[in-house]
């Protein structure tokens, strides 16, 4: 089975801190994604990466950056955390290809910014 | 991605089959039909996908109408662990893989013991 592992299930940080969320997948997937999920707003794409060192902005990249130095690992960075970044963060991965490639998700990190 | 319509909620009894419907009348010829589910406090989980033919896997079956304007996710024997929100999503080929998933409101499935 595909395994997407996020480093923390719950995280509490303070306003202004630099926050790192880590994600690792074990299926040699080319694509990796970071979403956030908020009540009433559904899933929103922050960034995705289709190869090592490659990244593209999603719908809401402001206040975030990403890093993909190795194929299996995709990191999300909150440069200076703010309270409006309190959310559930979800990492996903998939093979490159067409619409027949499913995305596999981690269990999520529930991040609270105080 | 084209729009899908699902009932807001459905209820089932444990160990009974569940048929979750999805309408997608504007589906295009290259759209794959995907189903995901999300259990409380967990990330979404891929369930199954198909293009034209019915599909089976260890989790569920997907029945696709001949005109492809609707589909049904079938859970053969519901368990309490199947209580979740189920999302029906259309993914476009060839760009679908690199693009975001857009979840609608989905169907909240309640399973009674």
The Cα angle at residue B97 between residues A33 and B26, in degrees rounded to 5: 120
Residue B24: the pLDDT is 94
pLDDT digits (tens, 9 = 90+) for A47-89: 999 999 999 999 999 999 999 999 999 999 999 999 999 999 9
CB A69 within 8 A of CB A53: yes
Question: Mean pLDDT across chain A, nearest whole number?
Answer: 93
Spatial CB neighbours of B8, under 8 Å, sequence gap ≥ 6? B105, B107, B108
Residues of chain B found within 8 Å of residue A91, distances taken between Cβ atoms = 43
Token pair in block for residue B75: 């859970």
Phi, psi of B85 (to 5 degrees): -95, 130
Chain B CB within 8 Å of residue A39 CB: no
Place of tokens 């109408």: B65
CB B89 within 8 A of CB B102: yes
> DSSP E strands: which ranges in A29-97?
31-38, 42-51, 54-57, 64-70, 73-78, 87-94
Residues of chain A found within 8 Å of residue B103, distances taken between Cβ atoms = 42-43
Flag whether pLDDT at B96 surpasses 60. Answer: no
Distance between CA A68 and CA A71 in Å, rounded? 7
The Cα angle at residue A102 between residues B62 and A37, in degrees rounded to 5: 105
Residue of B nearest to A91 (CA): B43
Chain A nearest-CA distance from B76, in A, is: 21
Cβ of B113: how many Cβ atoms within 10 Å?
A: 7
Q: Do B44 and A45 touch (CB under 8 A)?
A: no
Residue A4: the pLDDT is 96
Q: Which of A58, A104, A108 sits opposite B100 (nearest CB)?
A: A58
Residue B94: the pLDDT is 61
Chain B nearest-CA distance from A39, in A, is: 11
Distance between CA A30 and CA A27 in Å, rounded? 9
Residue A45: the pLDDT is 92
Q: Do B100 and A33 touch (CB under 8 A)?
A: yes
Chain A CB within 8 Å of residue B44 CB: yes
Outline where chain A has alpha helix (H).
Answer: none
pLDDT digits (tens, 9 = 90+) for B7-30: 999 999 999 999 999 999 999 888
The Cα angle at residue B53 between residues B68 and A1, in degrees rounded to 5: 115
Residue B99: the pLDDT is 74
């Amino acid at each position: 089975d595909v395994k997407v592992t996020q480093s923390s299930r719950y995280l509490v940080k303070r306003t202004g801190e630099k926050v790192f969320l880590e994600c690792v997948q074990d299926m040699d997937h080319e694509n990796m994604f970071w979403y956030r999920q908020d009540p009433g707003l559904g899933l929103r794409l922050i960034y995705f990466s289709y190869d090592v060192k490659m990244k593209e902005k999603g719908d809401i990249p402001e206040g975030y950056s990403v890093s993909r130095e190795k194929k299996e690992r995709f990191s999300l960075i909150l440069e200076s955390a703010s309270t409006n970044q309190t959310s559930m963060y979800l990492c996903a991965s998939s093979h490159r290809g067409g619409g027949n490639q499913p995305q596999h998700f981690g269990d999520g990190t529930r991040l609270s910014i105080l | 991605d084209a729009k899908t319509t699902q009932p807001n909620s459905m209820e089932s009894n444990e160990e009974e089959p569940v048929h979750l419907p999805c309408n997608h009348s504007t589906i295009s010829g290259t759209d794959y039909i995907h189903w995901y589910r999300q259990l409380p406090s967990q990330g979404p989980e891929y369930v199954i996908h198909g293009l034209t033919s019915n599909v089976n896997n260890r989790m569920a079956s997907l029945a696709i109408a001949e005109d492809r304007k609707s589909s049904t996710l079938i859970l053969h024997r519901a368990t309490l662990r199947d209580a979740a929100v189920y999302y029906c999503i259309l993914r476009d080929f060839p760009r679908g893989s690199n693009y975001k998933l857009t979840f609608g409101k989905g169907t909240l499935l309640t399973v009674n013991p």
